[in-house]
């Protein structure tokens, strides 16, 4: 009873009800979370998980809400947004970085560059957090998380007082995939090993060049989830879609970006159902024309 009371008291201070998740996704769509909390420490996460268990609530965690499509009707249970769980520690001599799950990936890439650590230059334009990037094995411009990830620290919601560490080799990392996508575990932090002893000015210049390349070729200033479809190698999803003249095609306020065909942007008032319908239309036309099945990178919640 004492543990239950402590967890309830800790949770009561910052759990909100019926919070629109459109404010928590980069697509700016999504219905309300029945319960939502933004813990800023590991103790707060543990207390919230215990509270959710005591209330028999379903539980999920999100980061910056990129690569995420939340249904218009919203989500039941407790949603933990970990974007406040920030912080990192760099060891330039060894090339090691320990980062909490909510640390923004672009921030980490910049810190690494300034410390003369190479290996995250590709990540500067990804609008996500460390936790989300690990779960998705995020990547861009020829690099990905699997290239430099050493290990992750996880919380098992079934045992909220206990954490476990898994090595990268235990995560089944593949193209935009990890076993964490199939498990209820919550990523608390990650350790990376980068190439040390680099010239900070040179690494920073490469990082800035990668960001410029991304912002000049992708709809960086419009709400989107990043790339919608996985590339069906050796083909590029964007090229297959563009070849069908689908750039600019709209359903409601969801539009295939005129700048990059592998992006669907929200023109202002798109709903999740509009985006879902546009994804299905693109998949159908690419299948009919090219005989290729496009699979999404997007994680869908509430459908």
The one catalytic residue in 22, 88, 118, 227 is: 227
Residue 227 annotated in active site: yes
Task: Find out whether 39 and 16 touch, Cβ atoms under 8 Å.
Answer: no
Cα 83 to Cα 188, 212, 220, 275: the distances in Å are 11, 25, 20, 24
Nearest 5 degrees, angle CA 195-CA 196-CA 200? Answer: 105
In 168-261 the beta strands, taken as DSSP E runs, fall at 186-193, 250-251, 254-256
- Residues 6 or more apart whose CB falls under 8 angstroms from that of 71 comprise 30, 31, 272, 300, 301, 302, 303
Residue 165 annotated in active site: no
Place of tokens 């190479």: 118
Residue 257 annotated in active site: no
Closest CA to 117 of 89, 158, 136: 89
The one catalytic residue in 83, 176, 191, 214 is: 176
Closest CA to 47 of 1, 91, 4: 4
DSSP 107-173: HHHHHHHHTT-BS-GGGGG---BHHHHHHHT-EETTEEGGGTEEEEEEE-TTSTT-EEEEEGGGTT-
In the chain the beta strands, taken as DSSP E runs, fall at 15-20, 32-37, 59-62, 68-70, 75-81, 88-91, 96-100, 139-140, 143-144, 149-155, 163-167, 186-193, 250-251, 254-256, 264-266, 299-301
Place of tokens 């995250």: 120
Catalytic positions, written as ranges: 176, 227, 297
């Amino acid at each position: 009873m004492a543990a239950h009371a402590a967890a309830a008291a800790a949770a009561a201070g910052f759990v909100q009800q019926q919070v629109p998740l459109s404010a928590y996704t980069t697509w700016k769509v999504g219905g309300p979370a029945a319960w939502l909390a933004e813990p800023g420490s590991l103790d707060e996460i543990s207390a919230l998980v215990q509270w959710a268990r005591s209330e028999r609530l379903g539980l999920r965690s999100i980061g910056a809400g990129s690569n995420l499509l939340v249904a218009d009707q919203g989500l039941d249970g407790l949603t933990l947004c970990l974007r406040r769980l920030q912080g990192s520690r760099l060891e330039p001599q060894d090339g090691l970085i320990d980062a909490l799950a909510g640390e923004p990936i672009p921030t980490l890439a910049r810190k690494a560059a300034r410390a003369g650590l190479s290996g995250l230059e590709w990540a500067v334009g990804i609008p996500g957090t460390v936790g989300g990037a690990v779960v998705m094995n995020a990547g861009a411009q020829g690099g990905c998380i699997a290239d430099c990830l050493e290990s992750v620290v996880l919380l098992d919601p079934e045992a909220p007082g206990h954490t476990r560490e898994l090595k990268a080799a235990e995560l089944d990392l593949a193209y935009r995939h990890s076993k964490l996508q199939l498990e209820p575990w919550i990523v608390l932090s990650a350790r990376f090993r980068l190439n040390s002893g680099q010239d900070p000015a040179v690494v920073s210049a490469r990082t800035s060049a990668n960001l410029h390349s991304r912002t000049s070729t992708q709809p960086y200033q419009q709400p989107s989830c990043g790339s919608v479809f996985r590339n069906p190698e050796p083909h590029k999803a964007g090229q297959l879609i563009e070849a069908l003249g689908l750039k600019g095609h709209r359903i409601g306020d969801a539009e295939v970006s005129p700048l990059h065909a592998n992006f669907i942007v929200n023109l202002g008032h798109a709903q999740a159902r509009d985006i879902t319908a546009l994804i299905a239309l693109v998949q159908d036309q690419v299948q009919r024309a090219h005989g290729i099945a496009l699979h999404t990178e997007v994680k869908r919640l509430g459908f």
